[in-house]
Amino acid sequence: MNRYLILLIRRPHLDPAVVPLHLAFLEGLREEGRVELSGGFSDKSGGAYLLHAADLAEATAIVHDDPAHVSGGWDITVYEWQAH
């Protein structure tokens, strides 16, 4: 499995009702062993999570199921992270 850093930046029209759905999505991925770390930024501008996936296509497909993506309330970027 490769690691992917998922960055989420809040858009002005963010619906706060989506936040619990996004957090539940992350918890499900954590239970599957897919999310290693996650959390919000201290300035409340967004957050990030570290996702395990076979390749960029799989990571992107997973992220596209995230309510944060589906709602359009965040700008989301996926990076393959070659951390050591």
Q: pTM score, two decimals?
A: 0.93
pLDDT in the model for residue 56:
97
Q: How confident is the model at residue 70 (pLDDT cuts 50, 70, 90)?
A: very high
Instruction: Identify the CATH number of the domain in which residue 24 sits.
Output: 3.30.70.1060
In 5-24, which positions are buried (b, 16+ CB within 10 angstroms) versus exposed (e)? bbebebeeebeeebbeebee
41-47: long-range contacts at Cβ-Cβ below 8 A with a sequence spacing of 24 or more?
44/10, 45/9, 45/10, 46/7, 46/8, 46/9, 46/10, 46/74, 46/75, 47/8
Mean pLDDT within 16-24: 97
Domain count, the chain: 1
Structural domain for 73, as ranges? 2-80
pLDDT in the model for residue 36:
94
Q: 76 — phi, psi (to 5°)?
A: -125, 135
